[in-house]
Amino acid sequence: MPMGVVMSSRQKKRVAQSGCETPEYGINTSKLGRNGSGGVATARLAQVISRSSNACQTAWVRGGRRPAGMTPQRTLSRTVSCSGIGLHSGRKVTLRIKPAPADHGIRFRRLDLNGLEVPAEADRISSLSYATALTQDAASVGTVEHLLAAFVGLGVDNATVELNAAEVPIMDGSAASFVYLVHEAGVKTLSAARRFLKVARPIVLSKGDKRIAVYPSDHFKVTYSISFDHPLLRHQSRTQQITEDSFAEEIAPARTFGFLKEVEQMRQKGLALGGSLDNAIVLGETGVLNNTLRFEDEFVRHKILDVIGDLALVGHPIIGHVVAHRAGHALHAGFAQKILQESDAWHLVDAPLAPAPEEAAVPETVTGTQPVKT
């Protein structure tokens, strides 16, 4: 398992029972866990986490050579699928991720609405109530952030995501299932260059005591801090440089969380209808109700996962240091739109600078909009 993950005997049993569907190499979660939550993908993630993503890439399509200084766009090598439950709708959904050509971007396709598509773009944001939803014309798709984070974290630029309902399945509440799917599919390079959004000057957005900013840096890094009126969550902070390995091992397995006292109120609003102890960390008055934490600071790691997914709506991988304090989906989404509006604060480049040595993730206090360090 990824570092810090604790496997229960039931999870080990699920690993033994698990297998890929053919011919699409999907995960059949309908028989695994209550509500088909997809915990098996997290358990099996250790089997693929050490694979180099480059091992699945095809040769450069133009004579096997890549132009100097250019990073190619990538897509999946084959179609993969999974099924699970919508966190808020409570409905079963089947999701299929298909390869797509260069410059296609990420697009959601609603098979139950005659193939209507919704692009993963900031101007398609339609709802931000405990999750991020996108809408175009008569089609909407909700809870997109964990899947989008997996695409960003693993360097997938182009894909078509087909689903037969209005919400991406929650799986086990993390992005581990989607990391597993991408690793099972493999990735291949395409002929077009990947364009990175390199931050040239700070961009800041705040609302009350909630803040988010991005600062110039030579790589993509996130510092996030949270605080809640709860014994386990008085304050947590983490800084994480995002690479394919660090995302898969340190961020993707972190699950969504909620408070028991808020569950009934959410359900009265038609939310969290598919929530269960299998797909979320549930906090009672004094501690975690359902299971062992995968990381001591799993809560703030999940917030890093959320902001990576929400900022995917910018449409380009970011080269910069994102610093957030108690931000949440609404501020993340507003910040994605603000980044695009402040076009004088960044420029597009075909390749990042040579990667700096990966920095250790050090918990740090973030009380303002100044970067902790760059």
Measured distance CA(155)–CA(231) in Å, rounded? 37
Measured distance CA(146)–CA(168) in Å, rounded? 9
Check if the beta carbon of residue 161 is closer than 8 Å to that of residue 109: yes
Eight-state DSSP code of residue 23: T
Burial of 69 (0-12, 13-18, 19+ CB in 10 A): exposed
What is the distance, to the nearest Å, from the Cα of residue 210 to the centroid of all Cα atoms in its chain? Answer: 21
Tell me which residue of 237, 207, 150 sits closest to 330, measured CA to CA.
207
Name the helix (H) or strand (E) containing 207. strand 203-207
Catalytic hit among 183, 302, 316, 329? 329
Check if the beta carbon of residue 311 is closer than 8 Å to that of residue 344: no
Measured distance CA(264)–CA(62) in Å, rounded? 57
Largest Cα–Cα separation, the chain: 62
* SS3 call for 268: helix
Spatial strand order in the sheet of 125-127 = 125-127, 133-136, 139-141
Measured distance CA(224)–CA(239) in Å, rounded? 7
329 is catalytic: yes
- List the catalytic residues: 329
